[in-house]
Amino acid sequence: MAGLRNAFPQPFSAAFHDSYVCHTVLRALDSLDDLKNETPLLGGREPLDYDTARTVTLREEGASVEEVVKDLVSFFHGMTIWGHPHTQQNVIPPSTLPSVVGMTLAHLYNPNIVSDEFSHRVALAEVEVVAACASLLGYDQDEVGGLFSFGGTATNLYGVKVGLEKAQPGAMQSGVREGLVTFASDSSHYCRLTVAGWLGLGTDNSITIPTDDRGEMDVGALRTGLEEAIGAGKKIAAIICTMGTTDSFGIDDLEAVVDLRDELVETHGLQYKPHVHADAVSGWAWAVFNDYDFEVNPLGFAARTLRALAGARHRIKALSLADSVGIDFHKTGFAPYICSLVVFKDGHDLQHLGRKPETMPMLYQHGDYHPGLYTLETSRMGGSALAAIANLRLLGRQGWQSVLGYIVDLSQHLRDLLEGQPHIRVLNRDSVGIVTLFRVYPEGVDTFDIERRELTDSAMREEVRTYNEYNHRIADYLHERAMQGKGVAISRTDAYRETLFGEPVLALKSYLVSPFDNEESVELVVRNVLEARQALARED
């Protein structure tokens, strides 16, 4: 036992052991640093042997701390370095140092924010983050409620569950008894299906509404869908507005949706108000520009960047109208996984999820803050709240404005460079976000107006399939080269949109989300794509 105790952080002040803890962590960090090279990876990549992994059993005798740490580092061989300027694959940013410290301290001392009895002052961090985000969104800080949960899917889950309880009071106790439906755009995150399935609504009752060429929900089509559902005697559990879609950063017209909801409640005499949830896990951070002076432009953004930021602000400022908002600090908040927050405009909404304290006799004997009375989770780590409060204090409004404006500017530059190539078409040229979708064509293809023709002309069906395959090969070539340290790692989406005749349209995707991105890495994307075209031409 004496030996085993040394493998734990000591509960008493012990300078020598504290030094051992620091040395152990530093040794791991040094080992990881040794893996850095010219590629956007830690070490190199080898095929993963899952067959051998499935044969592992518990050893009879344990290993030393040093041996285990060395073994842990080995699992990071081939891991993508998300903050690397040659990594533009997804909305996964590098984490700030204070947010990492917040997570690390929580891992050392295990505060559980199910109750302040098990987290004490760490519970204050959650309350402070909810209040700060409420202020940012334009909510009344005296009225809001909120909590950290297990990801963006969970924030949607909480929003829809509250909406379900409003539409069918007592469902928590007696189950879902009536036909309920949810609405979201066809560009919304697929977790809408996860939520509908897990809540017992059924994925068939997750109704999708078409979007326009900017990825924004067609409010007219939403009106038709809502009217049909109400006419059929169904209840609306929730309307999910996506405030920054994954592929094209489309921002739904939340204000128009809320106005439509209110109109239908009055027109049809509904006895409940359908819940409007804003899935803003990617777009929430643009709320820092709600009070930015775009005329004075104190941070000196370029004109094109200023237009994009103002365009995003035009829609994001409507977040104050939503009944609930999902926020991911581990996306555009520069915090480690998992750091997801759901905020309710009316904190009393959480009472729809409440349980009686007598059903949990082992909890809540002490303290004043007991979110476990209504949370799905009993175990909620305090690290998320600490990481979020760290970044709120580190960056402030101006720091976020600076970082977001910087990467939006780079995204605009990338689109300009791509648009200058005759065989490349940018698919979301007018997007106000940080993701760029584009499509590449082989020699001899007339790309003038090709995007419209591919989407609308059924005679182009075979061409769409051919160009999908061509872009798939481009993506594979770029990925292979990037893994060898010879280019930028970008990704693809297999269906950024669907044509009017039912064919998915594949697009290449660059996601700029790191403060280490620069003009050189952006320009390298274009050179890599042109090299890929030449390589495919030689193969063909």
Whether 349 shows a pLDDT value over 80: the answer reads: yes
Structure confidence at residue 506 as a pLDDT band (50, 70, 90): very high
Per residue in 116-138, pLDDT (tens digit) is 999 999 999 999 999 999 999 99
- The model's confidence at residue 2, banded by pLDDT at 50, 70 and 90, is confident
Q: Measured between alpha carbons, how far is 113 from 256 in angstroms, rounded to an integer?
A: 37
- Under a CB-based contact definition with an 8 Å cutoff, are residues 506 and 526 in contact? no
- Encoded amino acid at 503, one letter: E
Higher pLDDT pick, 39 / 395: 395
User: Environment class of residue 104 by beta-carbon count within 10 Å: exposed (0-12), middle (13-18) or buried (19+)?
Assistant: middle
- More confident call, 150 vs 359: 150
Residue 166's pLDDT is 97
The encoded tokens of residue 110 equal 């295990």
Instruction: Tell me the residue type at 280.
Output: A
Which of 389, 362, 345, 351 minimizes the C-alpha distance to 148? 389
The residue type of 515 is P
Peptide bond preceding 389: is omega within 30 degrees of 0, i.e. cis? no
| Residue 108, C-beta contacts closer than 8 angstroms, at least 6 positions apart | 9
Count of beta carbons in the 10 Å neighbourhood of residue 451: 17
Assess if CATH 3.40.50.300 describes domain 402-539.
no
pLDDT single digits (tens) 247-258: 889 999 999 999
Which DSSP letter does residue 95 get?
P
**What pLDDT is stored for residue 360 in this prediction?**
73
Q: Is the pLDDT of residue 301 over 80?
A: yes
pLDDT band (50, 70, 90) for residue 3: confident
Please report where in the chains the tokens 């460079």 appear, as a residue: 417
Q: Cβ atoms within 10 A of the Cβ of 97, count?
A: 10
Q: Are 532 and 438 in contact (CB under 8 A)?
A: no
% of the chain surpassing 70 pLDDT: 100
User: What is the C-alpha to C-alpha distance for residues 418 and 424, in angstroms, rounded to an integer?
Assistant: 6
Tell me what percent of the chain is helix, strand and coil, each rounded to the nearest 5.
Answer: 45, 15, 40
pLDDT band at 82, cuts 50/70/90?
very high
**Phi first, then psi: what are they for 130, rounded to 5°?**
-60, -45
Q: Answer whether 102-396 and 402-539 agree in fold.
A: no
Q: Are 235 and 201 in contact (CB under 8 A)?
A: no
Please give the pLDDT value at position 314. 95
Residue 214: pLDDT band with limits 50, 70, 90: confident
Is pTM, for the whole model, over 0.85?
A: yes
pLDDT at 361 over 80: no
pLDDT in tens, 247-297: 889 999 999 999 999 999 999 999 999 999 999 999 999 999 999 999 999
Distance CA 532, CA 526 (A): 10
pLDDT over 80 (residue 358): no
Say whether pLDDT at 357 is over 80.
Answer: no
Tell the CATH topology of 102-396. Aspartate Aminotransferase; domain 2 (3.40.640)
Residues 6+ apart with CB under 8 A from 439: 424, 425, 427, 451, 467, 471, 505, 506, 507, 508
| pLDDT greater than 80 at residue 364 | no
**Residue 365 pLDDT exceeds 80:** no
Buried b (16+ CB within 10 A) or exposed e, 322-359: bbbbbbbbbbbbbbbebbbbbbbbebebbebeeeeeee
pLDDT reported for residue 401: 98
CA angle 239, 247, 290 (to 5 degrees): 65
- What six digits make up the tokens of 429? 């040229």
Q: Give the C-alpha separation, 105 to 354, whole Å.
A: 30
Instruction: Band the pLDDT of 304: cuts 50, 70, 90.
Output: very high
Residue 363 has pLDDT above 80, yes or no: no
Q: pLDDT category, 367, cuts 50, 70, 90?
A: confident
b (16+ CB within 10 A) / e for 45-78: eeeeeeeeeeeeeeeeeeeeeeeebeeebeeeee
Stretch 190-218: mean pLDDT: 95
For residue 477 the two structure tokens come to: 């070539």
The mean pLDDT of the chain is 95
H helix runs in 344-382, sequence order: none
DSSP per-residue string spanning 260-326: HHHHHHHHHT-SS--EEEEE-TTTGGGGGGTT--TTT-TT---HHHHHHHHHHHHHHGGGGGSSEEE
Nearest CA to 145 out of 406, 333, 376, 323 is that of 323
* Sequential DSSP letters for 418-472: HHTSTTEEES-TT--SSEEEEEE--TT---TTHHHHHHH-GGGHHHHHHHHHHHH
- CA separation for the pair 210, 501 (Å, rounded): 14
Domain boundary assignment for the chain: 14-79, 102-396, 402-539
The CB density around residue 259, as the number of other CB atoms within 10 Å, is: 13
Pairing of strands 340-344, 324-328: antiparallel
Task: Tell me what the mean pLDDT of segment 175-190 comes to.
Answer: 94
Mean pLDDT (whole number) for 339-359: 91
Cα angle, residue 460 at apex, residues 455 and 466 outer, rounded to 5°: 100
